[in-house]
Structure 1
Amino acid sequence: MPDDTATLGLPEPPGPAPERYGVPVARCGGTGPAYAALDLGTNNCRLLVGAPAGGGFRVVDSFSRIVRLGEGLAATGRLSDAAMDRAVAALAACSEKLARRPVRHFQAVATEACRRAGNGPAFLARVEAETGLRPRIISAREEAELAMESCSPLLEDQDRRALLFDIGGGSTEIAWIRVPGAPRQGQVPAELIGYVSMPLGVVTLAERVGASCFTQEGFAAVVEEVAEHLRRFDRVHCIGQEIRAGGVRLIGTSGTVTTLAGVALALPRYRRPLVDGRVLDIEVADQALGDLFALGRAGLAAHPCVGPERVDFVLPGCAVYAAIRRVWPVPTLTVADRGLREGMLLRMIRADRLQGRYGSSRRYGL
């Protein structure tokens, strides 16, 4: 499954290759000051615990569970009782993990589902009462900034601009990034020029278009719908013109993109260290998309990089990717298996470094 953790919320066993978040790092024990970040999205609940290492961090613990918090939201404008129950159960598991491990700083955020739901604030009050966790609803801009933060180490000094996209459950964020100057301490500074958040994510599209995305006609209709949103953003920032001038890196961070990479690499089982940071020729990514489409529902459910829990979401996500590919024909795609959690951890660690304090660890939320 395209995530950095096992599907039942248990940490992935250590592999021979190191995990990389800005610097070569490896999975570790509980020594040293730890930081924790939680991302409650429209489809997933994810927790990541890391300890500083060089210019980045090493993974201490992690958790991921599909909760489908945004199920039915587009039709009703509210989070359903069943969806909230699933999310609270996952958050309770995260709370138990954190209670067993002292951390120096902890941050939790909620994204599109809680932004849009009329009962979003009431749900988060319930979360705090039942789990002790206090997720903060972040704006689409902050979501784009955190994704940029986590993906900045993938930029190189020859890049003038970067186009970063994150295909989420309830929305898709596009960030247009300036890369000024040369690398500093192994990382290239990045600046957000502009961003757009489209209310078109894998869950919202799957609920609206349903089985039609498994047909050529239905898939093409979604591609064109998304492409029209992208063209409006392109007209504001003249991104196509910049691409023609060269030096623009296309970076994708989402389950859709990591799935494409897993298929392109013919992985018998999804492995993050083999995918994160991988640069694919765009023709290779296109072929992987075609291979996924040809599998059909049964084939997708059986595929080791998809699975039955994600079978309804893969092709809507691929349609969003295909629209990005149509509007912005960049020759390569950089795959990023990193996102909001990694961005939050890097921010917390950097803030402590700037203040010269790593002090003793403390329990989360205190």
Structure 2
Amino acid sequence: MTLQNTAAIDLGTNSCRLLIVDAQGNTLYKNAISTRMGEGMSAHNRFTDEAIKRGVECFCSFKMLMDQYKVDKYRAIATAACRMAENGAYFVDLIKRQANIELEVIDAYEEARLNLLGGMLNVQNETCKYAVVYDLGGGSTEISLATRSLTPEILHTISIPWGARNSSEKFNLVDYDQEKAAKLADEISGYVRKFVKDAKLSDYAGDVCFIATSSTPLRLAHIAEGWTPYKRDRADGMKIAAKEFDKAVSLVQAMSSEERMLHSSIGPSRADIFNSACVIFSQIYRDLGAGELVASLKSAVDGIVMELQNGN
């Protein structure tokens, strides 16, 4: 019997992730490419020609890597940007024709479910029975309450139609502005407070842990601790107090555009969206009442490969 290598691709609004594992689940390759698919999309709700070119180049390079590692099974998903873009179907077809990869546009619920599967891998040693996972993307943010297990049951979930990329453009928050940040925070807070009420989150007080997937908590952890250079795996699974995130957010808000571009934990690919990311990220943990969070690099791609290896 031939042992199979498995791959997962997750195309978001700002970056595209590839994970390749062997039959035992050992990581063979893992990387994220800044495709910025949602850049300039807010004006006409369409992918720009430049974004499409970056996306195609990324998928073609990922296909070469998958062939190099002799991948037998894979699942490639696309999330908020492809759901919203008027030319999203055209892009999916282009990926099939040029990269020979079947790209599946998933709904917000499936996105939340896959991120849950990945994030749960970082809280297996916790004693709480429940977990709240939130994933801050480039074009949307999903928050879910679920049972804490490797096969979690979703009890309540919400998709907020704002992420780091589209909110930065809509609220003009490339550089920090207190008034504009307050408007975005108020917008996000409305969704989160509704989630807290509808999920009856207070009923789970003391028996719930909070997990934040995406790179934002990992980058903020580096900034709070003063770690350089940025290494994605360093803070993966780390439990961090909300006050430490507050400290990091304040440091980011005081940075100039040039300082963000030069900072190893932000860099040129995120300098224009990181202020909005910080506003969304911090408003959510405040409204959730989370005193500490587990920062998780593990997310949808980890959930995908786990399911593929289990025959799902």
User: What is the TM-score with the length of structure 2 in the denominator?
Assistant: 0.94
Confirm or deny that 1:116 pairs with 2:84: yes
Match of 2:178 in 1: 216
1:237 and 2:199 aligned: yes
2:251 aligned residue: 291
Give the corresponding residue for 2:28: 60
Aligned residue type for 1:249: C
Q: Distance in 2 between matches of 1:325 and 1:133?
A: 37
Larger Rg: 1
Which stretches in structure 2 are left out of the alignment for 5+ residues? none
1:312/1:242 CA distance change after superposition, 3 Å? farther
Matches within 5 A, 1:232-271: 232-239=194-201, 241-242=202-203, 245-271=205-231
Q: Encode CA deviations 1:10-38: one digit per residue, 9 max, x unaligned.
A: xxxxxxxxxxxxxxxxxxxxx95310111
For 1:101 and 1:123, how far apart are their aligned partners in 2?
25
> Where does residue 44 of structure 1 map in the other structure?
15
Q: TM-score, normalised by structure 1?
A: 0.81
SS at match of 1:304: coil
Aligned partner of residue 318 in structure 1, secondary structure? helix
Between the aligned partners of 2:184 and 2:141, the Cα distance in structure 1 is 13
**What residue identity is the alignment partner of 1:170?**
G
Shift of 1:326: 2.3
Question: 1:319 corresponds to which residue?
Answer: 279
| Mapped partners of 1:110, 1:36: distance in 2 | 15
Q: Is the 8 A contact 1:212 1:219 kept in 2?
A: no
For 1:230, give the aligned amino acid: V
Aligned match of 1:10:
none
For the aligned residues, what is the CA RMSD?
Answer: 1.8
- Amino acid of the structure 2 residue aligned with 1:224: D
- Which among 158, 161, 165 is matched to residue 134 of structure 2? 165
Q: Distance in 1 between matches of 2:253 and 2:217?
A: 14
Partner of 1:136: 104
Secondary structure of the structure 1 residue equivalent to 2:134: strand
Cα shift at 1:152:
1.3
Q: Measure how far apart 1:213 and its partner are.
A: 5.3
Q: Aligned pairs, how many?
A: 310
Structure 2 match to 1:342: 302
Identity of matched residues, %: 28
Secondary structure in structure 2 of the residue aligned to 1:154 = coil
Taking the aligned partners of 1:261 and 1:251, their CA distance within structure 2 comes to: 14
Q: Which runs of 4+ in 1 moved over 4 A?
A: none
Task: In structure 2, give the amino acid aligned to 1:222.
Answer: L
Return 5+ residue gaps in structure 1 as ranges: 1-30, 180-186, 353-366
C-alpha separation in 1, matches of 2:34 and 2:174: 23
For residue 214 of structure 1, give the secondary structure of its aligned residue in structure 2: coil
The separation in 1 between residues aligned to 2:22 and 2:194, in whole angstroms, is: 41
Q: Output the CA distance in 2 between the equivalents of 1:305 and 1:283.
A: 19
